[in-house]
């Protein structure tokens, strides 16, 4: 039967090769290459209104499931209604694996989606994915994270400047502890370029104190899930709780775990969190959390969707492809906890104005 199986397998392999088909080399045609951009170069003034978004199918694709991206889901529907798009989808099945995310993207492209707002799992790999999509004529925006290095192969990047946000968070922590003492930084995946940028942002703020503030070794790789973060926080408080005056967190799960852990230990530690989870906001109101640095996921999805629709409908082109725009980060304390969202909405409006300067439209 082994021999029969081998023959069958060879036949199937041969059939598969034939079924996928051979091709004939066309005369004088390149094998790939990006399509020519045929948009006009007229400069825009004032708000740009999308003329016809019916041919645009927008896909917003995070790296995987995470509370940060949940606003993208509802904002995608808002994009569809406001800009009368042909279709929208939100797909979080990438499972934080670049290979799986690439598969999700290509499957969506095969189903007719032609404008992609992507949070790349791997900042060092995502440019290859962007290049593939651009070569096939799709509009691509890097949302919530920019590729590592100096090059952005997407049409634009609309993201929190993570180093600046971490710097703000560290400054807020230093201010909360009165300008001197020991702080510790809790963050996510150490082998992620964004984490390295966050670490650099915190170190920069600490260095500016000229030794008045010292930083314990950074605790990384605890954003996998809440229980991992809770365990790390419990260990930290048990071993060095009395030494620490402030905790700065630049990832979601460590932020929630630190807020909870410090509250239950009753240690006089100032916690500066990230994002605006309900637990964190209530911690700010009760005084258990000194501050939080919120980002702008709604602005990223709304403005990103608008921009992608303009680009894919060929109404506009980017004057400088690959431009990077900060979507904003906002320090929230007890003083502005009820009004910070107004500031965020205002930033979203100015983002559209900022991008209009980057567009050439018909």
Partner 1 sequence: MSAPVSETATQALQEDAPVEKPPRGTPWWANQRIGLLLLVVLLGALFGVLRPAFFNQQLVIFPLLRDIAMFTVVGLAQLCVLSIGHMNLAVGRMAAFSMMITGISYDLFHLTLYSGLLVGLVAGTAIGALAGWVIARTGVNSFVVTLALDFLLLGMIPLVYTSLTDNAAFVVKPPGMRELRNYSLADVCVGNVCGSPAVPQLALFAVVAMVVVGWIYSRTRLGRELLMTGSSVRAAELSGIPTARRVITAHAMSGCLAALAGFMLAVSTGSIKATIGEEFMLPSFLGPILGGTLLAGGFVSIWGTLIGTALTSVIRKGLDLLGVGLESLNIYLGLILLVALSTDRVRTLLSDRSVLGGPPLTSPPPPKREGEPR
Binding site for partner 1 (CB under 8 A): 1-6, 8-9, 12, 17, 20-25, 31-32, 65, 89, 92-93, 95, 97-100, 102-104, 106-107, 109-112, 122-129, 132, 136, 148-149, 190-193, 195-196
DSSP single-letter state for residue 72: H
Q: Which is nearer to partner 1, 5 or 278 (CB)?
A: 5
Helix (H) or strand (E) holding 292: strand 291-294
Q: How far is the CB of 37 from partner 1 (least distance, A)?
A: 21
Q: Which is nearer to partner 1, 4 or 46 (CB)?
A: 4
Please give the full DSSP string across 102-164, using - where no structure is assigned.
Answer: HHHHHHHHHTT--EEEE--S-TTTHHHHHHHHHHTT-EEEEESSPPSSS---SSEEEE--HHH
Q: How far is the CB of 93 from partner 1 (least distance, A)?
A: 5
Q: How far is the CB of 190 from partner 1 (least distance, A)?
A: 5
Q: How far is 89 from 15, CA to CA, in rounded Å? A: 36
Q: How far is the CB of 69 from partner 1 (least distance, A)?
A: 11
Q: Which is nearer to partner 1, 126 or 337 (CB)?
A: 126
Q: How far is the CB of 353 from partner 1 (least distance, A)?
A: 32
Q: Which is nearer to partner 1, 25 or 266 (CB)?
A: 25
Residues in the chain: 362
Residues 6+ apart with CB under 8 A from 154: 118, 127, 130, 134, 140, 141, 142, 147, 322
| Cβ atoms of 288 and 265 closer than 8 Å | no
Q: Which is nearer to partner 1, 69 or 355 (CB)?
A: 69
Q: Which is nearer to partner 1, 191 or 238 (CB)?
A: 191
Q: How far is the CB of 13 from partner 1 (least distance, A)?
A: 9
| Cβ atoms of 359 and 317 closer than 8 Å | yes
């Amino acid at each position: 039967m082994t021999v029969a199986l081998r023959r069958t397998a060879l036949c199937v392999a041969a059939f598969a090769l034939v079924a996928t088909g051979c091709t004939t080399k066309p005369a004088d045609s390149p094998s790939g290459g990006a399509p020519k951009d045929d948009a006009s170069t007229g400069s825009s003034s004032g708000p740009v209104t999308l003329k016809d978004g019916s041919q645009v199918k927008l896909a917003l694709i995070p790296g995987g499931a995470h509370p940060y991206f949940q606003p993208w889901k509802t904002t995608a529907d808002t994009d569809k209604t406001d800009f009368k798009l042909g279709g929208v989808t939100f797909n979080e099945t990438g499972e934080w694996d670049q290979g799986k995310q690439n598969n999700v993207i290509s499957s969506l492209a095969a189903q007719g989606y032609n404008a992609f707002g992507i949070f790349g799992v791997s900042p060092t790999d995502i440019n290859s994915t962007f290049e593939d999509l651009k070569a096939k004529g799709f509009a691509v925006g890097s949302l919530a994270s920019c590729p590592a290095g100096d090059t952005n192969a997407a049409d634009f990047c609309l993201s929190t400047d993570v180093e600046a946000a971490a710097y703000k968070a560290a400054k807020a922590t230093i201010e909360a502890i009165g300008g001197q003492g020991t702080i510790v930084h809790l963050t996510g995946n150490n082998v992620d370029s964004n984490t390295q940028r966050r670490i650099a942002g915190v170190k920069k703020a600490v260095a500016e104190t000229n030794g008045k503030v010292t930083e314990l070794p950074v605790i990384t790789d605890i954003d996998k899930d809440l229980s991992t973060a809770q365990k790390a926080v419990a260990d930290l408080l048990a071993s060095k709780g009395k030494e620490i005056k402030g905790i700065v967190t630049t990832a979601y799960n460590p932020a929630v775990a630190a807020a909870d852990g410090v509250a239950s230990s009753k240690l006089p530690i100032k916690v500066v969190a990230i994002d605006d989870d309900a637990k964190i906001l209530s911690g700010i109101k009760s005084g258990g959390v000194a501050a939080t640095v919120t980002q702008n996921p709604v602005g990223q999805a709304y403005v990103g969707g608008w921009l992608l629709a303009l680009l894919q409908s060929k109404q506009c082109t980017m004057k400088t492809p690959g431009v990077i725009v900060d979507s904003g980060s906002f320090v929230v304390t007890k003083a502005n906890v009820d009004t910070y969202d107004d500031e965020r909405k205002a930033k979203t409006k100015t983002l559209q104005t900022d991008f209009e300067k980057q567009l050439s439209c018909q």
